[in-house]
Amino acid sequence: MKRFFCEHLLKAERKRYHLNNIVTYFAFEKVLRNAHRSEFNSSVPLLFMYHTSEVVLHKTLNLRVTPERLHVTLWSHSFVFSCDSLFQESTIESLNILELYDHNIQPNKFAITFDTFQMAEKKTFRAVRFHPDKTVKVEQVEFPIVTDDDVLIKVEAASVNPVDVNMSKGIYPRAPKPPHTLGFEGSGTVVEVGKNHAHRLKAGDRVVFLSGSYGSWAEYTLTSGTKVFHMHPDNTFEEAASHFVNPATVVIMLRLFQQEGHKAVIQSAANSALGKMLIKLFKENGIKTINLVRRDDAKEELLRIGADYVLNTNDNDFEQNLEEIAKKESATKFYDAIGGEFAVKVLRKLPPESILTIYGILAADQRLPLTSFDLFSGDKQVNSYNVTPHFEKLPFEEKEKHVAFIQQRLKTTFHSKIAKAFSLDKYADAIDHSNKFAAEGKAIIKPW
């Protein structure tokens, strides 16, 4: 049986077709594959507009692909094309699928035309892969089989986070077993949906997602439908690519803080993208923040966005000032992104019953020079925090609410400046940029 890949190449920007007085927008790229089935059924939503007026109707172009035929149906009109004849040319210009008379917008008779309707064999896509020997390469990966619980997505943008950088070095403890594709989160367009999620997702949907072993630093990814959520219509793919790692981390940080009953919070690496989000979200909830940075030039911006205190950890009087402010504000929660000796030094200056929660490993030496006396002297605690297990424990409806809450605020509370975009081939430059210039904004991967 012939294996083939049918792709309707429509770029990320919307292509516009003027057909008499009708303007047809194809707002997505649709992929049809028959790599593992005797036939494949799908739908292409079409949006028709009359002149420049509002949308007057929505119709669906239904397609069924078998090894021998492409079946096209619009309303009650059906057309069949031989796949063998279509494969004779890699590109068929102006394939006129049908001509019909629609009574809703009479008296216009028009044809729907697919320019560059490509039908060609395609079995692989490009991805940035991490291998057991800790090498990273851009490779061709076979298209995976979409099971009932899966969603196949064309990746439009993927963020570069510290977790991704650590995965690229092989030092992230929760990474999939290699070889695997790098990239924890991203945004894109749905290509194919397993039946378990067909009630809420369809081909052409703009979505945000968390990736599995197929990662987000790739042209396509496959992930569980429980990790795929609709994009807010006002957000761009670039903005939405950073929808989870930092924003969700901060949202659940607030939730844990409130559950533990603290009054004020201390955070290290406050000038990071996550640090700025924490300042804004906690401010919105009436919680004072004590923010630790390493440079004086970072203070002004943090104070402007709502920080209550900003301390330079390199100042000679840093520890004394921290102890006084923490006592004054009853700051008993410390979210630390650095770890190592620094984390313990701060903990020792905090009030009794304080909790040190380590969520990052920026320090080169992660050994904690902690003594039993450090804990027993003030009934203090040390724990770790990773957003993923907390998020995974939530019911799906609550996950949707969290994601919707974040996406509504991607331009405000959870805004991440996009500093630079990199192609898949330039992934190493993206990692280097993230390491050196994280305070200046996010690096993202653009596969196309």
State yes or no: pLDDT of 61 exceeds 90: no
215, 181 contact by CB (below 8 A) = yes
63 confidence band (pLDDT: 50, 70, 90): low
3 state DSSP class of 202: coil
Residue 394 domain flag? no
CATH number reported for the structural domain that contains residue 294 in this entry: 3.40.50.720
Compute the average pLDDT of residues 211-229: 94
Give pLDDT, residue 171: 82
53 confidence band (pLDDT: 50, 70, 90): very low
Report d(CA 402, CA 406) in Å as an integer.
6
State yes or no: pLDDT of 96 exceeds 90: no
Total structural domains in the chain?
3
325 and 438 in a single domain? The answer is no
Which has more pLDDT, 217 or 363?
A: 217
Compute the average pLDDT of residues 89-95: 32
C-alpha distances out from residue 446 to 69, 83, 421, Å? 34, 32, 6
44 and 144 in a single domain? The answer is no
Tell me the pLDDT tens digit for each residue of 247-256.
Answer: 999 999 999 9
Tell me the pLDDT tens digit for each residue of 167-182.
Answer: 898 887 778 888 999 9
Residue-averaged pLDDT of the chain: 78
Report d(CA 274, CA 246) in Å as an integer.
5
Indicate if the alpha-carbon torsion angle 424, 426, 430, 431 is positive or negative: positive
Strands 117-119 and 5-8: antiparallel
69 confidence band (pLDDT: 50, 70, 90): low
Report d(CA 311, CA 280) in Å as an integer.
17
Among the ranges given (115-119, 237-241, 416-420), the one the predictor scored with the smallest mean pLDDT: 115-119
152 and 211 in a single domain? The answer is yes
Strands 288-293 and 309-312: parallel
Percentage of the chain beyond pLDDT 70 is: 73
159, 144 contact by CB (below 8 A) = no
Residue 399 domain flag? no
173 and 190 in a single domain? The answer is yes
58 and 31 in a single domain? The answer is yes
Q: Identify the residue whose tokens are 């770890």.
A: 339
Give pLDDT, residue 325: 98
Give pLDDT, residue 77: 47
Residue 408 domain flag? no
Give pLDDT, residue 213: 81
Residue type (1 letter), 61: L
Residue 266 domain flag? yes
Tell me the pLDDT tens digit for each residue of 262-316.
Answer: 999 999 999 998 999 999 999 999 999 999 999 999 999 999 999 999 999 999 9
* Domain housing 363: 246-388
253 and 165 in a single domain? The answer is no
State yes or no: pLDDT of 215 exceeds 70: yes
State yes or no: pLDDT of 109 exceeds 70: no
41 and 150 in a single domain? The answer is no
278 and 170 in a single domain? The answer is no
Pairs from 371-376 (Cβ < 8 Å, separation ≥ 24):
374/344, 374/347, 374/348
Which has more pLDDT, 443 or 33?
A: 443
Among the ranges given (17-26, 86-95, 176-185), the one the predictor scored with the smallest mean pLDDT: 17-26
Which has more pLDDT, 176 or 71?
A: 176
Give pLDDT, residue 367: 85
352 and 289 in a single domain? The answer is yes
Percentage of the chain beyond pLDDT 90 is: 59
Residue 134 domain flag? yes
Which has more pLDDT, 102 or 115?
A: 102
Among the ranges given (12-26, 70-84, 175-189, 311-325), the one the predictor scored with the smallest mean pLDDT: 12-26
226 and 322 in a single domain? The answer is no
227 and 324 in a single domain? The answer is no
Interacting residues of 262 by C-beta distance below 8 A, sequence separation 6+: 330, 331, 332, 333, 355
Residue type (1 letter), 233: P
| Domain finish residue from 61, 95, 119 | 119
266 and 318 in a single domain? The answer is yes
Residue 140 domain flag? yes
204, 58 contact by CB (below 8 A) = no
Give pLDDT, residue 290: 98
Give pLDDT, residue 4: 31
Give pLDDT, residue 62: 54
Residue 411 domain flag? no
Residue 184 domain flag? yes
CATH number reported for the structural domain that contains residue 170 in this entry: 3.90.180.10
Would you tell me how many other CB atoms lie within 10 Å of the CB of residue 233? 7
Give pLDDT, residue 72: 52
Give pLDDT, residue 95: 34
State yes or no: pLDDT of 405 exceeds 90: yes
Give pLDDT, residue 29: 31
- Specify the length of the chain in residues: 448
- R_g of the chain, CA atoms, integer Å: 26
Residue type (1 letter), 136: V
Tell me the pLDDT tens digit for each residue of 359-380.
Answer: 987 777 888 888 888 888 888 9
